[in-house]
Structure 1
Amino acid sequence: MTIPALTLPAAGDGTGVSIPLLGFGTWQLRGDAAYQAVRDALEAGYRHLDTATMYGNEAEVGRALRDSGVPRDEVFITTKLPPDRAGHERATIEASVRDLGVDAVDLWLIHWPPTRGRSVAVWRQFLAVREAGLARSVGVSNYDAAELDELIAATGEKPALNQIRFGPALWDAGVVAVHRERGIVLEGYSPFKTTNLHDPVLTRIADAHGVDPARVVLRWHVQHEIVVIPKSQTPERISRNADLDGFLLTDAEMTAIDGLGDGPGRGRR
């Protein structure tokens, strides 16, 4: 498959980090199921894997990557720090890279804002970890505009990316603008859980292109240049979701899908 990529804002060494717009999510995948799903995803052509400390599957993700034979430098890896690990950032990322079996992750995210006003302190530690070379780029997840601005104002450093709950039913031009105005890449999770795949708008567009509605949703993200990380453990669905070549949504179709939105796309996972 041919999946376009975005360049994340410059990392500590001044070079950009390329992130594929389509990734493979691993939330709720554990043990052998996580291992096999990641193997299937890599076989299908995914080159972007998303995990997190709290998912409890970093070792399986790393083992699947090693066993796949796909070179490490061809795969973008994201993991995340849970809020209860605030104050233990360095130990957490060291455990993550050890479990993943890599020298560094490509992107490390604050999984959601820590409590008691500790967000800025955690962000400073993230910047230090990036400078130490354990994460090529750093960002956040489940942050709103005010929380993003707090980090930027305190440190002069913007998160490379913000991962939030997103999909056509949560389309909000204001949310997208918040990120574009700040030069922060937007990434959406749970694209199918947030969307009625039986909606007539999606089924009509899917029929017009000879694809299923799920792929319409993924193509919509990609054409909006919003990173998307679908999850499945069914080999056929994993492969089908990766098959986004061969069709493009028209401007009218993109606008129709935008019209499914009903408000801000902020959620927590």
Structure 2
Amino acid sequence: MIGTLVATLSLVGPASLSRRDYVSLATSIGVASSSSLPALAAAPTKAAPFSAQPGLKLNTGVNFPSASFGLQVYDDDTAYRLTRIALDVGYRNFFASVLARNQKGFARAVKDSRVPREELFICGSVLSNRAQGYDAAFQLSKRGCEQNMEAFAAGGLDYIDMIMLDYPGPDADSIRGQWAALEEMGAAKLSRSLAVSNFSPSQLDVVLQMGKGVTVPAVNQLPYGVGFSASSDVRAAEVIGENQKRGVIVQAWSPLRKALSGAAKSACAEIGQKTQTKKHFEEDLNIFDFSLTKEEVVRLALL
């Protein structure tokens, strides 16, 4: 069982697609129009206290709600409307990636919702994996951190709860440069925790071996789920354990994509998980309303 789940408005495609590929696909085939979304109530949202929401405790001691709403590719106005709906039904964990290019719309929605900031867990991301070498990776990652805060400032957000590297750099030296920039953001108290995405255990070790006092990544966001294919240095069944023994929680950024694609006998991006109504958002958030037998778990593990 994975540690946390991501409820995203994502497209399902071939197992070999990266998150950047998903962005390109969504841009090419279009997304839900903001005009099709329901009107939003002006009253502030009431939800369970942040610390009481189902979740896991990070290595920072902070509660990490199990269901996270991840913004995908649409304009700022659509991001605003969808975020308001998500807040209204009770989502409190949000992943606003730079890849989606709509962090400003998200931030404005947070501000206008009047949900207390302390109830929210907000994660931004930095894309710097194409920079080669320590210095280049550090500078590009540092600029990425600054761009996150510039975008979130549109909603009056002066800190975030997590900043995440979207992908590891091409070599160990580059990864060290990336992480040094995130460490700097954490030291400035602009982000309460640091995280990674799409890191193998050996890439995590590059970070952990940077020296005394290095910040351990709180989360490793992976395309984990049914049919997940692990990296060359670890089997899929061992992924969670390898992360846990390093003090890192695994979060799934596409838990259903391969299973749905296989069920449709198609490798094309033709299955969508698009949530446009408040009712569907409520259904998505209610992720613990089922159970699996041991036999079913074994069958799923073999896919």
**TM-score, scaled relative to structure 2:** 0.67
Give yes or no for contact 2:226–2:256 (8 Å, CA) kept in 1.
no
Amino acid at match of 2:222: I
| Deviating more after overlay: 190-199 vs 139-148 | 190-199
Q: Which runs of 5+ in 2 are unaligned?
A: 1-46, 132-136, 230-235, 264-271
Match of 2:297 among 220, 231, 255: 255
What is the distance in 2 between the residues matched to 1:119 and 1:151? 7
* Aligned-partner SS, 2:88: helix
Partner of 2:242: 178
Q: 1:254 to 1:129 in 2, by over 3 A?
A: farther
Map of 2:149 onto structure 1:
97
* 2:124 aligned partner: 79
Residue 98 of structure 2 corresponds to residue 42 of structure 1 = no
Segment of structure 1 superposing worse, 117-126 or 77-86: 77-86
Partner residue in 1 for 2:23: none
Count of paired positions: 226
Matches within 5 A, 1:207-246: 232-235=274-277, 236-244=279-287
- What whole-Å deviation, never above 9, does each CA across 1:24-47 have from its counterpart, x for those lacking one? 011223222211111111111100
Task: Select the residue among 146, 149, 155 that pairs with 2:202.
Answer: 146
Asked whether the 8 Å contact 2:221–2:252 carries over to 1, the reply is yes
Aligned counterpart, 1:192: 256
Residue 196 of structure 1: CA displacement? Answer: 2.1
* Alignment-derived partner of residue 119 in structure 1: 175
**Residues 94 and 254 of structure 1: CA distance in aligned 2, closer, same or farther (over 3 Å):** farther
Change (3 A) 1:178 1:112: same
Using the TM superposition, give the Cα deviation of residue 260 of structure 1 relative to its aligned residue in structure 2, in angstroms. 4.4
Query: What code does the residue aligned with 1:37 have?
Result: L
8 Å contact kept, 2:221–2:250: yes
- Cα contact 2:76–2:106 (8 A) shared by 1: no
Task: Report the RMSD for the aligned CA atoms in angstroms.
Answer: 2.6
Structure 2 SS opposite 1:166: coil
Q: Distance in 2 between matches of 1:108 and 1:254?
A: 36
SS of 1:244's equivalent?
A: coil
Alignment of 1:10-29 (within 5 A): 10=60, 16-29=61-74
Deviation digits for residues 65-90 of structure 1, max 9, x if unmatched?
11112111111111110115731434
Distance in 2 of aligned mates of 1:257 and 1:61: 39
In the alignment, the residues of structure 2 paired with residue 189 and residue 257 of structure 1 have an alpha-carbon distance, to the nearest angstrom, of 22
Distance 1:52 1:196 in 2: 24
**Structure 1 consecutive aligned stretches of length 4 or more whose deviation exceeds 3 Å:** 88-91, 230-233
Distance 1:159 1:252 in 2: 32
- Cα gap change, 1:198 to 1:118, in 2 (>3 Å): closer
- 1:133 paired with 2:189, answer yes
Shift of 1:250: 4.5
Using a 3 Å threshold, how does the CA distance of structure 1 residues 114 and 61 change in structure 2: closer, same or farther?
Answer: same
User: Do residues 106 (structure 1) and 158 (structure 2) align?
Assistant: no
- Which of 112, 115, 124 is the matching residue for 1:70? 115
